[in-house]
Structure 1
Amino acid sequence: MDFIGFFDRLTQELNVMARDSLRKSAQPTVAVIDSQSVCTGLAQSVKGIDGGKKIKGIKRHPAVDSNGFPLTIVISRANVHDSKGAIGLAIDTVCKYPTIRALKADNGYRGPFVKNLKERLFVELECVKSNFGTSGFKPISGRWGVERTLSWLESFRRLNRNYEQFLHTVKAIVMAACAMFMLRFV
């Protein structure tokens, strides 16, 4: 049985139901993307080293709607740069949700990725400036949804560290966790 496909479809259906309960259109037009590095717990698991964060493990690349509801997730080695991991994420998101016309991301996604999105997928990329260095908490317009989703994922103890050997297994577990917290909104 294809667990990734099952949890993908389940998350899509729960997303439609949750958006309906909020009286929003069933198909989102904006997606917010980001990445999160996670340490590995197994010597034999697929991994890489995220040089910026000094983490040996994997990286999750989620795309969420404006409410923070997960649309799709791509899992890669931690050494994959955000803009490289976002290519597959953008393609997957636009294929599943053809109504997406804009992606919001942080400044780590600038570069040739922006040009490819516009030319090939007809999607605009808006790089939102962070408020790093300011005092107090101030949510960044358009980016708080993905940060909230990443914090929801961290609340699942199983996802705080990667104990899986293969990336497809990690994706199935992350999608199952997304389906579990989506059930709260339906």
Structure 2
Amino acid sequence: MNLAPFLQASRYIDHDHPAVRAQALALAQGSRQEHDLIKRCFEFVRDQIKHSWDHRLNPVTCRASEVLQHGTGYCYAKSHLLAALLRAHGIPTGLCYQRLSVGDEGAPYCLHGLNAVHLGDLGWLRIDARGNKPGIDAQFHPPQESLAFVVRGSQERDLPDIWAEPLPQVVAVLERYDDVAQVHAHLPDVEQMD
């Protein structure tokens, strides 16, 4: 697999933005190895950037630099920031999605955004910095995945691909609505997969 697309700066994963680069450098201080640096970036986004819906925080953010500036983002936006911080250090990082029930079970469904990081010794590992709370305990523990959510229902899925850029339906929702409640009412989804 060509890893070059997973290192590039882009409109949404703008690791070339001065504030993103500065935060990436700050997180690298005292880091001795790649796994430690990844864990620092992961825990910063997981713990210091508030999940927009959990905390009912506006504005709605999409670009990594916006997420960093405002300190909040939906899972999708938080994954854009984590990708930017890691790409700023030359660590290939992609975007992944799960299709999950919005409630405890059954329709409606929505996408959940997370990341995959390429660890030279292990290959791709999914990591989920959406933010912990009671019932959610995502960690960085290679080689095991420790994600926020487990796929349970028959219509829930781990989407198998790793994307270099966010899915269009995710960006469309984040850029269309100005309030976190509007986003929550229009969460992006994909067609049912058999």
Q: Give the structure with the larger helix fraction.
A: 1
Superposed pair shares fold, TM > 0.5: no
Give the TM-score normalised by the residue count of structure 2. 0.28
